[in-house]
Amino acid sequence: MQQPSESLPGVGPALSKKLAKLGLRTVRDLLQHRPHRYEAAVPERKIADLLAEGETAIAGEVRRVSVRRPRRNLAIVQARVADDTGEVTAVWFNQAWLADKLQPGTRVRLRGQLKRNEFAVRSYDLNGVSATADFAPVYPASEEVTPKRLRGLVERALAFAPDEHDPLPASLKASAGLPLRADALVALHRPRSLHEGEDARKRLAFDELLVLQVGLARARAGREGAVAPPLGDPGELTARYRELLPFELTPDQEQAISEIDRDLAREAPMQRLLQGDVGSGKTVVALYALLRAVEAGLRGALMAPTETLAEQHFLTIEPLCAELGVPAALLTGSVKSDVESARLVVGTHALIQEGVDLRDLAVAVVDEQHRFGVEQRRALVEDRSPHVLHMTATPIPRTLALTLYGDLSVTEIAKPPATRKPIVTSWVTAERSSAAYTRLRKHLDAGRQAYVVCPLIEESESSKRAAEVEAERLRRAELKGYRVGLLHGRLRTAERRELMASFKARELDVLVATTVIEVGVDVPNATIMIVQEADRFGLAQLHQLRGRVGRGAEQSYCLLISRPHEELTDTAKERLQALVDSTDGFELAEKDLELRGEGQLLGTRQSGLSDLRFVHWRADRPLLERARAAAETLVDYEGPLADEVERVFGERELAA
């Protein structure tokens, strides 16, 4: 099972490289490649009985074959196919190479539809039944490796399925009525009904969830007995803070605050995840939690993963602290203000590395915790057990959050402050891009600013040149007469800051950018964004990019430009449509997971998610509950399950 895919017959170095790009490196990877759907069951008909109805299957022998080329770019393969009742002409489009394989005498099974007395083929098998089988699996594929190719490879890998060990204790399998893992793998790829395929998936999903839940249960057990200072009820300082804010807190913020207050009143250290899109108002809530520590005579610390983020937090927090009379300090690799006398410290991991005395730390806020290494997170809570609030701007669907951070309580800020209008998003294809630029220029002429994003993703010399060339082209064409700046990944920090500052000061009308527009960029006067070749971006990335507009009170727009519909994959179309339909980060995150089928969600890779191939985030909530319940009894269980837990948790630790 651990053998590389190359150990299978017919797989050479070239193919194994292409498979690796799909994450398929070993025989086991192939066996665990989940079909994203199954073909329907269709009736098999005798050729004489064929009707112009829906999809059907026929089986027969090729009599003769020919290729026609009625025009350039169109090749039609026609094969005369016979069974014992009659003959029909089967047609394939643009697969001229097939003609060689359809030599007279070849046995074929075809699935397709009778149209104008010809059988239009959707899928076919030569000398066997695989692609045309009822419930044939359809795999996530790439342009380089087709679903058909994958089907053949998985079939070869299935020979090894009986070697698969089963990590579940036999008693659990019996009591939960679960099939053997090896049987589930076979049924996953060769179900005799959709139901059987789904049962197989569930068994495999259960294993994944159980491993995570056992790991979490162990982490929980390890923390038992830790004590944090109970902070009692909110006091005078936080009351003044609320009054100081120039706005009313939103219901979601109020909810978050009351949940935090409840946590802080206890001795058990708070372990809460606060999630919400950028701009949803998390920082306001985080500062509240920090001030709760200060008013109890203790200290609060906010830890951010980069200097830039730490600085930004400090810029937000410091003026408020000054007004409240709370000494605050910034501590990063390059800045160190008066930390000793500060009651509230903002910093990078330098906070914990520089031997700062944080003994009276009562509340720690950890921003974007997934971006910290295990060591850094561990160091923060070493020898102390503060209340911890984890913050993330990467919305994670609730089921997923519970799975991954099963020992954290989760708070969502789902609705941003009402003063902000949702961004209007539209999607046009490249031939209509001139209309998009016309719209963009209207905004510029009205005194607004704009972004144009190009998908020149790699930060190499050549992509830098490409970005420069594109900016130059836009300056001469669509954006002629406007002041255009270029932001790309090869700029030095100082250059980038300068560029951002002049954009903010309205010395530039348009910022042409590669994907490096940072999360912190905040220019409320920018009201429109064009994303070129939007089909090449991921859903999460597009959502993040779009968040650069819509930051003021004005209505903002995001125009996604893609290649023509015919050239787009189904998932690319679904991605773009999802963005048009929704601005809700949580909804989009769920959609993203659904489309990708595995945990490649932004920033979650190292947290164990990529091991979850079989879980369906929407539907598997009951399964998750069962796994949690089972995990409680399996904390100390030895055997294959424990090895599996060790493998997943050995290198990383979930939000501990």
Residues that bind ligand ADP (CB under 6 A): 247-250, 253, 276, 278-284, 417, 419
Distance in Å, CB of 325 to ligand ADP, minimum:
20
**Binding span for Mg ion by CB under 5 A among 280-288, 475-483, 562-570, 623-631:** 280-288
Distance in Å, CB of 118 to ligand ADP, minimum:
59
Indicate the burial class of 171 (C-beta count within 10 angstroms; 0-12, 13-18, 19 or more). Answer: exposed
Residues 6+ apart with CB under 8 A from 450: 440, 443, 444, 509, 510, 511, 526, 527, 528, 529, 530
**Binding span for Mg ion by CB under 5 A among 30-38, 185-193, 283-291, 352-360:** 283-291
Question: Where are the extended beta strands (E) located within 72-178?
Answer: 74-82, 87-93, 107-115, 118-126, 137-138
Q: What whole-number distance in Å separates Cα of residue 366 and Cα of residue 495?
A: 29
Distance in Å, CB of 534 to Mg ion, minimum:
26
* Structural element, H or E, at residue 530: strand 526-531
**Binding span for Mg ion by CB under 5 A among 79-87, 281-289, 336-344, 586-594:** 281-289
Q: What whole-number distance in Å separates Cα of residue 606 and Cα of residue 611?
A: 10
Which of 279, 455 has the CB closer to Mg ion? Answer: 279
The entry of Mg ion, ligand ADP, none near residue 271 (CB within 5 to 8 angstroms by kind) is none
Which of 161, 309 has the CB closer to Mg ion? Answer: 309
Which of 147, 417 has the CB closer to ligand ADP? Answer: 417
Distance in Å, CB of 518 to ligand ADP, minimum:
13
**Binding span for Mg ion by CB under 5 A among 275-283, 407-415, 538-546, 643-651:** 275-283
3-state secondary structure of 538: coil
Which of 210, 366 has the CB closer to ligand ADP? Answer: 366
The entry of ligand ADP, Mg ion, none near residue 462 (CB within 5 to 8 angstroms by kind) is none
Number of residues that bind Mg ion (CB under 5 A): 1
Contact (Cβ atoms closer than 8 angstroms) between residue 254 and residue 413? no
Distance in Å, CB of 369 to Mg ion, minimum:
15
Q: What whole-number distance in Å separates Cα of residue 53 and Cα of residue 485?
A: 59
Nearest residue to Mg ion, using CB?
A: 283
26 near Mg ion (CB under 5 A):
no
CA distances from 362 to 35, 303, 384 (A): 48, 14, 9
Distance in Å, CB of 258 to Mg ion, minimum:
21
Distance in Å, CB of 280 to Mg ion, minimum:
9
In the 8-state DSSP scheme, what is residue 336? B
Which tokens sit at 219? Answer: 């982490």
Which of 118, 307 has the CB closer to ligand ADP? Answer: 307
Which of 186, 304 has the CB closer to ligand ADP? Answer: 304
Distance in Å, CB of 277 to ligand ADP, minimum:
7
The entry of ligand ADP, Mg ion, none near residue 178 (CB within 5 to 8 angstroms by kind) is none
The entry of Mg ion, ligand ADP, none near residue 538 (CB within 5 to 8 angstroms by kind) is none
Residues counted in the chain = 656
283 near Mg ion (CB under 5 A):
yes
Contact (Cβ atoms closer than 8 angstroms) between residue 43 and residue 134? no
Which of 210, 291 has the CB closer to ligand ADP? Answer: 291
Distance in Å, CB of 358 to ligand ADP, minimum:
23
The entry of Mg ion, ligand ADP, none near residue 445 (CB within 5 to 8 angstroms by kind) is none
3-state secondary structure of 607: helix
Contact (Cβ atoms closer than 8 angstroms) between residue 51 and residue 177? no
Distance in Å, CB of 243 to Mg ion, minimum:
21
Q: How many CB atoms lie within 10 A of CB 257?
A: 20
In sequence order, what DSSP letters do the residues of 184-200 get, joined into one string?
HHHHHHS-SSHHHHHHH
SS (H, E, C) 360-403: CEEEEEEECHHHCCHHHHHHHCCCCCCEEEEEECCCCCHHHHHH
Which of 32, 253 has the CB closer to ligand ADP? Answer: 253
Which of 204, 260 has the CB closer to ligand ADP? Answer: 260
Q: How many CB atoms lie within 10 A of CB 570?
A: 8
CA distances from 503 to 278, 311, 531 (A): 20, 20, 18
Which of 365, 444 has the CB closer to ligand ADP? Answer: 365
Which residues here bind Mg ion, judged by CB under 5 A?
283
